[in-house]
Amino acid sequence: MHATPIHGKTSDPSIGPATGSISGPDEASLSAAAYAGTLDLVIALGAPEGRREAIRRLAHHLGAEDALLFVPDPDLAVPLPAPGLPQTLPEGRRWREFVRLCIASSRATPVKERPGAILAHPDTGIASHVTALTSADGSVLALLGSVPMLPGYGEAYAPVVERLLPLLGRAIGAEHAVRAAAGHASVARDNAAQAGALTRTLDATRRTLEDALARAETERLQAEAATRMRDEFLAAAAHELKTPITSLMGFSQLMRLQIRRRRDVSLEEVDAFARTLDAQSRKLAQLVNRLLDVSRIQAGKLVLERQPTNLAALVQEVAGVVQHTSESHQIVVTVSGDSGVTAAAGDSGHVMAHVDPLRIEQVLTNLLENAVRFSPEGGTVEVTVEDETGTHDRTAATGGQPGETTRYARIAVRDWGLGIPEPRRPHIFDRYYQAHASGHYGGMGLGLFISKEIVVQHGGTLTVETPTSGGTRFVVRLPR
């Protein structure tokens, strides 16, 4: 290790007078006190706190004005300024070249003199004379002064620094390693946090996409079902409308043909033609009215004209009309009126309610016609009308509160026909839905939909039951 002393003043009491030119080392310079002072300063340099002040005191101790310390970095394979000392130097390239030359000279011949250099001071940027003390491990102590060091002064302290500088280099190198490890750990933590955030984002995106795909699939299935129901409805509507129209056209053409042939037509024939025309016209009108009702319901324009109505009498009247359409069925009406006495067939009794009689007649007609239609083998259709007290939830249509105790009129229509297959029961009140579409029983799938809407508009309920003995029971409850 070699150095060329610098002229300068010292502020360390262990070195001698605070003023004056230092001519060179003497025996006292290598005293135990000087060694101890140098050792204390080197130890102080081992701690990052106060390192800048300690390096200046060490420089003064060695006869220089300031000093920098470079230690090798094992990862970068280059010497770096010790932490706590200036990290960004003016003329950084020239400093790096100077340090590399110091290390190269020391490895070739450790005692070879290193010519001084003039470099910018790291703090002030003022040109300074620099001489380096370099240890075998590549640690470099650069001494700075305003004038070159006196020959031999730095060499007098070189043995002391040569022993201590490698220790200091290892200590600061370990500090570099700890800082690097901390940096790597911090980077690893940041990367892990970013990876976790990215994973969560990807999971959320995946769930969003899965939900969107599920919704799209559900909407696709619903659209396909709606299209299928529309097509089935159009086919059924065309068939249902075609039947009465064909009958009307056929009977009218037959009448015209007979008149054209000047054939006498009996009153009985005219009456039969008229009945047929009337029945088919009514059927056609009923189909058209159902289509109009669907439009009114969808637009929220289904208007009810309520009035006090004897439901028992209304049921008897509708049952009589439907009974005339079938000879293979027997419709039996049982009424448990307000008096609590059960009325026999033909004696309607009294079960009063405030309803729209025409709309309730429409509901009853649909239920009884369905009971007859879906009992192809004939048989009995039972209809019961009774007073009922319960806590069924009343809707806003009647201004009631949920759970309110209310008197109801209960109308049940029971047949022993085909029944409703279990998978189809949840859909029987859907618009255009036909539980027996493949059985050629006719209908457009609107009757039950319209009936339920009418009952709900009254604040009541329309439900379906499947008795264990077979058939179907539809139950209407209307608030009284």
Count other Cβ atoms within 10 Å, centred on residue 174: 13
Query: Within the chain, which residue ranges are assigned CATH 3.30.565.10?
Result: 302-479
What's CA 207's distance to the chain center, in Å? 7
Q: What is the pLDDT of residue 14?
A: 37
Residues 298, 288: Cα–Cα separation, whole Å: 16
Query: Across all residues in the chain, what is the average pLDDT?
Result: 75
Residues 132, 67: Cα–Cα separation, whole Å: 9
Give the range with max mean pLDDT: 64-78, 141-155, 365-379: 365-379
Q: Which residues of 357-385 are buried (b: 16+ CB within 10 A; e: fewer)?
A: bebbbbbbbbbbbbbbbbbeeeeebbbbb
Residues 64, 147: Cα–Cα separation, whole Å: 9
Residues 133, 135: Cα–Cα separation, whole Å: 7
pLDDT digits (tens, 9 = 90+) for 18-72: 333 333 444 444 445 455 666 676 677 767 777 888 888 878 877 788 888 887 7
Q: Looking at residues 315-333, what average pLDDT do you find?
A: 92
3-state secondary structure of 223: helix
Ranges 107-116, 174-183, 203-212: which has the least confidence? 107-116
Residues 231, 83: Cα–Cα separation, whole Å: 83
For 8, 12, 112, the CA distances from 147, given in Å and listed in that order, are 7, 19, 21
Instruction: Return the CATH number of 302-479, one of 3.80.30.20, 2.40.30.10, 3.30.70.580, 3.30.565.10.
Output: 3.30.565.10
- Residues 6 or more apart in contact with residue 95 via CB below 8 angstroms: 89, 119
Tell me the residue type at 289. N
Specify the higher pLDDT residue, 234 or 108: 234
Helix (H) or strand (E) holding 354: strand 352-355
pLDDT digits (tens, 9 = 90+) for 92-138: 778 888 888 887 776 654 434 455 688 887 777 788 888 887 777 77
Specify the higher pLDDT residue, 287 or 227: 227
Question: What CATH number does the domain located at 13-182 have?
Answer: 3.30.450
pTM score, two decimals?
0.47
Query: Within the chain, which residue ranges are assigned CATH 3.30.450?
Result: 13-182
What's CA 168's distance to the chain center, in Å? 58
Q: Is residue 16's pLDDT more than 80?
A: no
